[in-house]
A = this chain, B = another copy of it.
Amino acid sequence: MSPSRPPMQLFVDRLLDRSMLGAAETEALLSLGGREVQVRAQLDIVPPGEEATSAWLVVDGLLGRFGQVIDGRRQITALHIAGDMCNLHALVTPRMSGALQALSAATVIRVDYRDLRHLVRTFPLIAEAFWRDCAAQASILSQWLVNIGRRDAQSRLAHLLCELAVRFEQARLGNRRAFRLDASQVHIGDALGLTAVHVNRVFRVIRDKGLVGAESRTILIHDWAGLAALGDFDEAYLHMKSHIVADALTSA
């Protein structure tokens, strides 16, 4: 945001949340090139079926990765907020990227896979950090599967809101009591495997319960404990404490 903080610092911070990197690695990451692009809402950054050729760092806005079903309905498989590097996994599996869309107007930085591969080959710690980042994404994906497969609509929505609250807080984009979520109810439905109509009704219910509120696009969580209980939410899957990482790095 401020001129003294290059956008790539966002991504470095994200990696440092989970992995240990030395000065050389940090510097190499910060010197990554990449063109900053403004995209409008609803733009397909990577259209369905297309092979990924670059990763996308979210500087501002909300992005969604999604899959499509034959009848045109879609399922969002990941939500990406500022600091997330989208399609990092496709660095090793370019065929399996999935589509990527801006859900709100957004600022992203295109980072070419060639540059990332160079970093990965040069710095084993960066390779490990990228791998860990992908594993963390997969962990979220697992939770989403449990959420959609085995919880009813109220719990689903509560769980998603809790997850986003924690992630926004971690990314220093708000806290778990208030954060700006630039997604329409259609998007929320696509993320939860529900229709927008039902999202609307269910949101009303948990609002009437006094758990949450909304002011334009800002989500207010009035009763964190209640919402977490309703969503059966345990934030462990989002975190990776540094002592574990340290252990992973020093053992062997």
Contacts and interface: CB of A to CB of B under 8 A. Distances in A.
A75 B144 CA distance: 10
Contacts of A98: 142
Contacts of A193: 148-150
B96 A150 contact: no
Given A75-B145, A138-B138, A232-B69, A127 B124 contact: yes
Interface string A176-203: 0000000000000000110000000000
Nearest to A136: B93
How many copies of the shown chain assemble into the complex?
2
A143 B66 CA distance: 10
Contact of A251 (B77, B117, B134, B192): B117
A120, A131, A237, A239 pick with most chain B CB within 10 angstroms = A131
Nearest to A18: B93
The A interface is mostly helix, strand or loop, or mixed, namely helix
A150 B94 contact: no
Contacts of A130: 131
A16 interface: no
A73 interface: yes
A136 B138 CA distance: 10
B135 A92 contact: yes
Contacts of A145: 67, 75, 77, 141, 144-145, 148
Contact of A67 (B142, B241, B247): B142
A217 interface: no
A172 interface: no
B136 A75 contact: no
A110 interface: no
A252 interface: yes
Contacts of A124: 121, 124, 127
Contacts of A131: 92, 127, 130-131, 134
A61 to B, nearest CB: 22
The 5 tightest CB contacts between A and B, nearest first, are: A149-B193, A117-B252, A67-B146, A96-B139, A75-B149
